[in-house]
Structure 1
Amino acid sequence: MQFEYFSVFERVLTLSGLAPLALVGCVGGASPELVASLPAPTYRVAAPVPPPPPPPPRVFAPTPLVTAIDAMVERFGGKVGVAVKSIDDDWMISKNGDVPMPQQSVSKLWVAMTALDLVDQGKLRLDEQLTITRADLTLFHQPIAGLLKNGSYTATAGELMRRAMTMSDNTANDRLLRRVGGPAAVNAFIKRKALGAIKFGPGERLLQSRTAGLNWKQDMAMGRAFQAARAKLPEGVRRAAFNNYVADPIDGAAAAAIANALARLKQGDLFSRASTSHLVTLMESSRTGAARLRARVPAGWRLGHKTGTGQDFSGRTAGFNDVGFLTAPNGRSYTIAVLIGDTSRPVRERQQLMQSVVESVVANHRG
């Protein structure tokens, strides 16, 4: 406890410009009447500072869930990464979660995020009109190509984002990608937001042509021209290109980094409230991959997700993925990332792996 002594006599002397120490002898020799007339000294007691509250107890991941995920990945075989994060309790389970895997269309997430970041900065409007021509067409799944009349189609940035996120439309995504500044802008966004071990590739056309061992030509976007050109390649060329891609994917991302990024999205840590709500709603509106994570989501739970599927070669697929956030009826949420980078297991077994992760999360949910 601290005491501070203040003599009124000392204060008077100080205010009058006289040093109290110089008069100590005078005060000590003063008459009893003078001393008695001086007011009593005053004291001020410093209030004690309360100790900081103890940190809340750390919540650990349910042991049965950790064991289940470890076992299912070990049994599955191949190049697989799985991460599950509790948004509310801040624990994460990761099995090969730091290994970069081919993202394929999962990477459409980062294009949408880059666009919404520009919206928040006032540099893009979702109602901005963007025109698509035949020169913008890509390959594989691009339903927007059927809307080109007289060689062009005009859509808003918001429509392109919706098509990319809910239909996985490659051309819609690449046109939005060009508007936000291309792959360099997306990678810059990922770095600025510190999203971790996530890379964005060169766009759909170059990504798929390199995976196949082809040099892209725009006429490959029409009909099945790409598949025809790929079929003419020697098997050794295709195998080498495929192996190079799955070994070091140019669009590689780690499951743990994706799970963390999705948690930050759901928590509103990346965008304004309006942009956060917009992307979460889009992801919850997606109906792609009905036999993947979505197949085991129970009634009352909500899933927002993005799938990704690469090219096949000799029974292998260069990326077979599903990532998203799972929300329980009581509002508690988890993020899940299941990335199958390379495996010879049948498609049905890949889907069952994803379903098993959802089932285990739900079974170990703490209400």
Structure 2
Amino acid sequence: MICIGLNVNAQLSTLRNNISNIAKDAQGTVGISIINLDTRDTLSFNGNSKLPMQSVMKFPIAITVLHAVDQHKLALNQLIHITKNDLPKTYSPLGDKFPNGNVDISISELLSYMVSLSDNNACDILLKVLGGPEKAEAYMHQIGIKNIAIKASEAQMATAWNVQFNNWCEPNAIAHLLDISFKSNFLSKSSHAYLWQIMQATSTGPNQIKGLLPKNTVVYHKTGRSGTNAAGITAATNDVGIITLPNGKHVAVAIFISNSKVDLAMRESVIARIAKAVYDNAIE
């Protein structure tokens, strides 16, 4: 493990111990991966664990859609006809706005719904446009993100508890994806700008990565959260993204909490405290 920021042994030890102590409060598996995008220092804590993504998968799906746009296979202003059958009952601001369907929505708007609002129906509509989850997984593998699996749609994940575990990634893999996709030459200029615009506009999980950071800190992120089963276990409470530091530099952070026994407030507190520890360490 390499400490973010100054390579001082005491600083490394303090940060490692701090994260380890915070993670215990989750009473589950906590996986963390950090990359300082400027110094290239990294930190990994269970970073090679295969953990369920839930809606974090919408980040690589968005990248895959934007790649298709850059390949001229799709267009941001392309209209997709939405029927009532495309809007099953689930978490969906899109479905709330157009409960009867029969509306044409642009791909750019569907991307905004999917990423910024974490809309499940928008996600599945875009997966259908792509040709299925396997297209997103294949593109991730093509660009070198190997330790990730995108097998099931949101609707499929809703059919049974265990299906969500088919969509997994290693925290190190998603941090690497954050790193490479933040580079200005990863997508076209317009697609790159739109990706990070909708990531910055994410409204879900305000108490997670952003929870304890200074109020005006710019964070580009994507959350993911499962339900809680009858045994009181929550499979996934996740937040991944890029934190902007006061000096204008950036840190990529992926925080996953899996199979936790504690309530949402505590899970979010764990994520917030870890993000704050990383932020504080990076600006020292």
TM-score by length of 2: 0.91
> Post-superposition shift, 1:294?
1.4
- Inter-partner Cα distance in structure 2 for 1:187 and 1:328: 31
SS at match of 2:261: coil
> Post-superposition shift, 1:94?
0.9
- Inter-partner Cα distance in structure 2 for 1:292 and 1:101: 18
Which portions of structure 1, spanning 4 or more consecutive aligned residues, are displaced by more than 6 angstroms? none
> Post-superposition shift, 1:343?
0.9
- Inter-partner Cα distance in structure 1 for 2:192 and 2:145: 16
Q: 1:163 to 1:308 in 2, by over 3 A?
A: same
Residue 106 of structure 2 corresponds to 156
Residue 227 of structure 2 corresponds to 311
AA matched with 2:257: I
In structure 2, the gaps of 5 or more residues are none
**Residue 180 (structure 1) aligned with residue 130 (structure 2):** yes
Residue 301 of structure 1 corresponds to 217
CA RMSD of aligned residues (A): 2.0
- Inter-partner Cα distance in structure 2 for 1:151 and 1:350: 36
**Residue 352 (structure 1) aligned with residue 272 (structure 2):** no
SS at match of 2:211: helix
Q: 1:289 to 1:125 in 2, by over 3 A?
A: same
**Residue 145 (structure 1) aligned with residue 95 (structure 2):** yes
> Post-superposition shift, 1:110?
1.4
**Residue 100 (structure 1) aligned with residue 50 (structure 2):** yes
In structure 1, the gaps of 5 or more residues are 1-57, 212-240
- Inter-partner Cα distance in structure 2 for 1:173 and 1:60: 41
Any idea what the Cα deviations from partners look like across 1:298-323, whole Å, max 9, x if unmatched? 14421111111112112211211111
AA matched with 2:254: A
AA matched with 1:304: Y
> Post-superposition shift, 1:365?
2.0
Instruction: State which of 329, 332, 335 in structure 1 corresponds to 2:246.
Output: 329
Any idea what the Cα deviations from partners look like across 1:64-101, whole Å, max 9, x if unmatched? 32332233224543122111111111121111111111
> Post-superposition shift, 1:150?
5.5
Q: How does 1:1-367 map to 2 (within 5 A)?
A: 60=7, 62-63=11-12, 64-148=14-98, 151-211=101-161, 241=162, 249-268=165-184, 270-313=186-229, 314-366=231-283
> Post-superposition shift, 1:276?
1.4
- Inter-partner Cα distance in structure 2 for 1:191 and 1:104: 19
AA matched with 1:305: H
Q: 1:115 to 1:151 in 2, by over 3 A?
A: closer
Comparing both chains, which one has the higher relative contact order based on Cα–Cα distances under 8 Å and sequence gaps of 6 or more? Answer: 2
- Inter-partner Cα distance in structure 2 for 1:59 and 1:124: 44
AA matched with 1:334: V
Retained in 2: the 8 A contact 1:326–1:336? yes
Retained in 2: the 8 A contact 1:59–1:91? no
Retained in 1: the 8 A contact 2:38–2:250? yes
The size of the alignment, in residue pairs, is 276
Q: 1:139 to 1:196 in 2, by over 3 A?
A: farther
Deviates more, 1:174-183 or 1:270-279: 270-279
Q: 1:89 to 1:208 in 2, by over 3 A?
A: same
- Inter-partner Cα distance in structure 2 for 1:321 and 1:309: 6
Retained in 2: the 8 A contact 1:138–1:170? no
Identical aligned residues as a percent? 28
SS at match of 2:80: strand
Q: 1:106 to 1:83 in 2, by over 3 A?
A: same
AA matched with 1:111: I
> Post-superposition shift, 1:270?
2.8
